[in-house]
Structure 1
Amino acid sequence: SEARHNPVGSYLKHFDLKPTMLGKRIRICFEGVEEAMYLWINGQFVGYAEDSFTPSEFDLTPYIREKKNILAVQVHKMSTAAFLEDQDFFRFFGIFRNVTLKAVPDVHMEDLWFKPVLNPDNEHGSVAVSMRVSARKQVTVHAQFVLRDREGNVVAENSVPLQGLNGNLTGEIYTDVGAIHSWDNHHPYLYQATIALKNAENGELLELVPYDIGFRRVEIIDKVIYLNGKRLVITGVNRHEWSPKTGRCIGMEEMHSDIACILKNNINSVRTCHYPDQIPWYFLCDEAGIYVMAECNLESHGSFQKLGATEPSCNVPGSIPQWKEVVLDRARTCFETFKNHPSILFWSLGNESYAGDDIEAMNVYFKDKKDGRLVHYESSYYNRAYEDTISDIESRMYAKPKDVAEYLSDKPKKPYILCEFMHDMGNSMGGLGDYMKLIDEFDLYQGGFIWDFIDQAILVKDPVTGKDVLRYGGDFEDRPADYEFSANGILFADRREKPAMQEVRYYYGLYR
């Protein structure tokens, strides 16, 4: 790159195809690349992608060979995506999540959407399944759906022939399940669904796809959010993905540790601030019964917050037509990647990006899906012209308890959530009890998400003492810097609990 502050990381990978992959369609998936990437295989340009935190998949089939393949990736630290990825964190760049080479069979499930429905009696349910299948050969395909409970008993099954032309097949299955166990924080009951694609002529199994699903219902009744017929109380936390040793590249060990810590301390909800997390995290939340506010990768506070004032004349995306499809793409990738997770109760359009026609279009996209989830966005607070067309929720950051009470006492339009509160920087968390009292005082106050879960600091060896120490912004001769402004966690960066966690465990425990 010719840009002064835009370093480029270049990656080369030499590989041969395994014998089991020969003759199949070959794809490669990058689950996280910060911030933009170009891809080549064997000297042929394959594609470009940006959006650091959602998967990008490329078809290598036209250019792949059996032996001596050369994969080349060029990663740019800065790109047009920089306008939309202004989160408060260390500025890294590179490949930081899994890269997977996939061999796709001749008949392959390209898309699968489970739509479980919990009936109003909270005891019975049904499930609809939408499928999209690609077929490279002429074959009549049947899709067989089977649903099993935890003990492996079949509780529902159905099958349909898939229809379509030119190798693009689709199908819909609807099945009444009858009596079911609902999914929630206290009883995260999951059923195992399987879809078997079979050759209709000889019964040959072409592909088998398993997935765990849960039955739950989110709704607003008289301006109050209910889950499975009960008022929802959020005892939540904002969680960045972080390791003091590997930055935003975290492993399963850290994820399991975070799940255990969350459950131990009576936290029932996580906001994936301010981007989609790694794919395994959502499965862990399904299993543990942790409610998720799934946020799109969008933050542009620098474009409208200037020297402490709100000044949106240069706001991105705003209502700028050129940015509309860009943010819609981020909404699509978030939805399509995570749509089957029962833990997700809310889609969040992003963070601190003001409000305009483009973010309004994101809301329309999610609403058109009619998946039963609620849509959240906070920054319409700064532009009330969009308060009725962007978010189902009155969402605020750091409002004082008296301000929350004043809003809820004056003909409120919507349920109220503090998407960020109790900014845990330094010796903080002393006022948590005052916020929790509001849950009993106002039905429309649904709780909130503490800012935040874990400090963002880097473990380095001190040159004087030789000890491993945590270093924060400004400790690396980086100027300008926000210093320890990313040290707001109820955990230190090495995942030790801070004293403030005692307050969290106690007050959140009152609403467990």
Structure 2
Amino acid sequence: MKHTLDWLTNPEVFAVNRIAAHSDHRIYANHLEADADNSSLIQNLNGTWKFAWAKNPSEWQQKFYEESDSTDNFDNIQVPGHMELQGYGKPQYVNTIYPWEGQEHLRTPFISEKDNPVGSYVRYFDLNDALKNKRVFISFQGVETAMYVWLNGEFIGYSEDSFTPSEFELTPYIREKGNKLAVAVFKRSSASWLEDQDFWRFSGIFRDVFLYAAPSAHVRDMKVIADYDGTNGIFSATLDIAGKCSVKSILTDENGTVIAESNEKESVNWTIENSKPWSAEIPNLYTFTVILTDEDGNEIEVSRTKVGFRRFELKNGIMCLNGKRIIFKGINRHEFDAKTGRAITKEDMLFDIQFMKKNNINAVRTCHYPNNSLWYQLCDAYGIYLIDETNLETHGTWQKLGVTDPSWNVPGSLPEWKEAVLDRAKSMYERDKNHASVLIWSCGNESYCGEDIAAMSEYFRSVDPTRLVHYEGVTRVPNHQYDSITDMESRMYAKPQEVEEYLKQNSGRPYISCEYMHAMGNSLGGLSLYTDLEDKYEAYQGGFIWDYIDQAIETKND
């Protein structure tokens, strides 16, 4: 297949040769690696890459990916990292408008031809011994905003969606020695119309990049449901296994004691008597392990994920966890570091988790995109409730000072955008579906409501009856046309008296403030006017302060 830049302005092309999204379980060559959490099947490609920057595609060195094309004149850049914070282009903070407004008059899905920076990344590598003679895949955990990938001069694939993994198979073109991996990252694409978040606008490969090998038998995906009936855990797992093998699944407690095992290949079902439930207060976790062996009993692959038994549901119009009413004492959290932007580290995440636990923050809305996969593991382990939000925000297409032409409104009910936004929902769900910390799926933020977002909500409900669906934007649609999208009344910055007016109606739906207080440079006075409602109205179930941590870039300028 030949690549084309036409994909950049076609909303119906958002993935070419990208493999299907899957759970973020860990894979290992054997149980010793699994116990040490050190997989030889994964080869990290983070570090120093060769790099060239162009202001737009017309200035871009388009053949840089060819094996004969030299990178001697390229600079070095750090991956993960943003181009703009390493001297290439300028960071820009934009809220409701799009970055090009006031500079160029553009209509969806078109993008600027003169201001669309392109980063040409090259990484030379040899294949680790443990990955040889196996199927090899590459995983980009986060790239803003559109990327083309080549290996040894051959086109591999294309992908959009900055905040979920993009993975491709490299097997037909990979060599044991002297591989040239080339990635072109475009700052603007049709996806830019879907990513109008209120934050710093960056670009580049800003999350981990790694290779992973699939042995002769491989767990491609696992879907785990760990329900809780008030006494016992009801466990089920559906396994997607490729290759000939024998299968052994085991569940162990926090002490490593095996409490259940099975030899079923496709599905596992257990009742765990007197299981310990998971909650933010006591985040009990169990370990689910799948061991694949050959006919001689040798281990081929070991897959592992953490699970927590819990039941989250609506009971008589109240959100309940393990049978008890829940109150979200939450915050909205952007991934951010003053030096590296959204390219954050494990240490950054641990600081955030520990700060939240010390200050009685029990919930986070991942505003307004899926976070680094490690964040979900930490929230499982430490006990943080999550609203997991799809990477979708389009308020620049409708939130303007005057009346906008309805044809501007994205995604609305426009058929050309439907599959792109559904893909974003699917990619988030598939990666995060096994995490106990995720209680609610969110269809995005401040995007024009219509049939496309309704389809996202229907998708979440069809694949996951164990969680609820959130979308605040229905409150702005006349005549409550799309109220069925969300399972809860969710508002932004409603005054306490406005919240109470809603609660007095006894609508049968719980209420949360998905954004309130606006604490950016603000003292947060008057919070008790909201928290007093917790005891007065059962349907008031808390909210998420805007926002956590200052999105400030450290600079040496005055």
**CA distance, structure 2, for counterparts of residue 219 and residue 18 of structure 1:** 46
Deviation at 1:192, TM superposition (A): 1.2
Instruction: Determine the structure 2 residue equivalent to 1:369.
Output: 463
**CA distance, structure 2, for counterparts of residue 126 and residue 426 of structure 1:** 46
**CA distance, structure 2, for counterparts of residue 427 and residue 53 of structure 1:** 29
* Residue 156 of structure 1, aligned match among 247, 260, 284: 260
* Residue 32 of structure 1, aligned match among 126, 142, 153: 142
Instruction: Determine the structure 2 residue equivalent to 1:80.
Output: 190
- CA deviation digits over 1:409-452, x for unaligned, max 9? 12314111100000013333101110101111110010000000
Work out whether 1:126 is the aligned partner of 2:234: yes
**CA distance, structure 2, for counterparts of residue 41 and residue 203 of structure 1:** 36
Give, as a single letter, the amino acid of the residue that structure 1 aligns with 2:248. Q
- CA deviation digits over 1:229-255, x for unaligned, max 9? 110100000000000000110001111
Instruction: Determine the structure 1 residue equivalent to 2:414.
Output: 320
Give, as a single letter, the amino acid of the residue that structure 2 aligns with 1:149. D
* Residue 243 of structure 1, aligned match among 324, 333, 337: 337
Work out whether 1:453 is the aligned partner of 2:527: no
Q: 1:157 to 1:428 in 2, by over 3 A?
A: same
**CA distance, structure 2, for counterparts of residue 111 and residue 204 of structure 1:** 22
Give, as a single letter, the amino acid of the residue that structure 1 aligns with 2:426. R
**CA distance, structure 2, for counterparts of residue 323 and residue 309 of structure 1:** 22
- CA deviation digits over 1:173-213, x for unaligned, max 9? 111111100000111000111111223x4323221112111
Work out whether 1:15 is the aligned partner of 2:125: yes
* Residue 147 of structure 1, aligned match among 251, 274, 284: 251
**CA distance, structure 2, for counterparts of residue 427 and residue 262 of structure 1:** 19
Instruction: Determine the structure 2 residue equivalent to 1:403.
Output: 498
Deviation at 1:310, TM superposition (A): 8.0
Deviation at 1:359, TM superposition (A): 0.4
Counterpart of 1:420 in 2: which secondary structure?
Answer: strand
Superposed counterparts of 1:152-191, under 5 Å? 152-160=256-264, 162=265, 171-191=266-286
**CA distance, structure 1, for counterparts of residue 306 and residue 404 of structure 2:** 44
Counterpart of 2:360 in 1: which secondary structure?
Answer: coil
| Kept after mapping to 2: 8 A contact 1:115/1:371 | no
Q: 1:378 to 1:458 in 2, by over 3 A?
A: same
5+ residue gaps, structure 1, are 163-170, 464-512
Instruction: Determine the structure 2 residue equivalent to 1:47.
Output: 157
Work out whether 1:392 is the aligned partner of 2:487: yes
| Kept after mapping to 2: 8 A contact 1:305/1:311 | no
| Kept after mapping to 1: 8 A contact 2:520/2:550 | no
**CA distance, structure 1, for counterparts of residue 402 and residue 316 of structure 2:** 36
* Residue 395 of structure 2, aligned match among 286, 293, 301: 301
Instruction: Determine the structure 2 residue equivalent to 1:106.
Output: 216
| Kept after mapping to 1: 8 A contact 2:454/2:482 | no
**CA distance, structure 2, for counterparts of residue 20 and residue 188 of structure 1:** 35
**CA distance, structure 1, for counterparts of residue 426 and residue 528 of structure 2:** 38
- CA deviation digits over 1:102-155, x for unaligned, max 9? 122111110011111101xx11112111011122xxx3x332111111122221
Deviation at 1:16, TM superposition (A): 1.4
Q: 1:4 to 1:183 in 2, by over 3 A?
A: same
**CA distance, structure 2, for counterparts of residue 355 and residue 110 of structure 1:** 34
Instruction: Determine the structure 1 residue equivalent to 2:52.
Output: none
Instruction: Determine the structure 2 residue equivalent to 1:484.
Output: none
Task: Judge which range, 356-365 or 15-24, deviates more.
Answer: 15-24
Instruction: Determine the structure 1 residue equivalent to 2:203.
Output: 93
| Kept after mapping to 2: 8 A contact 1:360/1:386 | no
Total equivalences in the alignment: 447
Counterpart of 1:87 in 2: which secondary structure?
Answer: coil
Give, as a single letter, the amino acid of the residue that structure 1 aligns with 2:133. G
**CA distance, structure 2, for counterparts of residue 263 and residue 386 of structure 1:** 39
Q: 1:312 to 1:393 in 2, by over 3 A?
A: farther
Give, as a single letter, the amino acid of the residue that structure 1 aligns with 2:281. H
* Residue 474 of structure 2, aligned match among 375, 380, 395: 380
Task: Judge which range, 51-60 or 407-416, deviates more.
Answer: 407-416
**CA distance, structure 1, for counterparts of residue 520 and residue 305 of structure 2:** 40
Deviation at 1:313, TM superposition (A): 4.7
Work out whether 1:286 is the aligned partner of 2:380: yes
**CA distance, structure 2, for counterparts of residue 326 and residue 308 of structure 1:** 28
- CA deviation digits over 1:272-322, x for unaligned, max 9? 000010010000000111001000100001111112778755210100011
- Length-normalised TM-score, structure 2: 0.78
What root-mean-square deviation, in Å, do the aligned CA atoms of Structure 1 and Structure 2 show? 1.4
Superposed counterparts of 1:225-236, under 5 Å? 225-236=319-330
| Kept after mapping to 2: 8 A contact 1:86/1:300 | yes
| Kept after mapping to 2: 8 A contact 1:303/1:312 | no
| Kept after mapping to 1: 8 A contact 2:450/2:482 | no
**CA distance, structure 1, for counterparts of residue 466 and residue 186 of structure 2:** 38
Q: 1:363 to 1:267 in 2, by over 3 A?
A: same
Instruction: Determine the structure 2 residue equivalent to 1:434.
Output: 529
| Kept after mapping to 2: 8 A contact 1:422/1:428 | no
Q: 1:457 to 1:207 in 2, by over 3 A?
A: same
Query: Which structure 1 residue ranges, 4+ long, deviate > 3 Å from structure 2?
Result: 308-313, 384-388
**CA distance, structure 1, for counterparts of residue 278 and residue 404 of structure 2:** 41
Instruction: Determine the structure 1 residue equivalent to 2:352.
Output: 258
Give, as a single letter, the amino acid of the residue that structure 2 aligns with 1:377. Y
| Kept after mapping to 2: 8 A contact 1:355/1:386 | no
Instruction: Determine the structure 2 residue equivalent to 1:215.
Output: 309
- CA deviation digits over 1:56-80, x for unaligned, max 9? 0010111111221111100000001
Work out whether 1:419 is the aligned partner of 2:506: no
Counterpart of 1:461 in 2: which secondary structure?
Answer: coil
Higher relative contact order (CA 8 A, sep 6+): 2
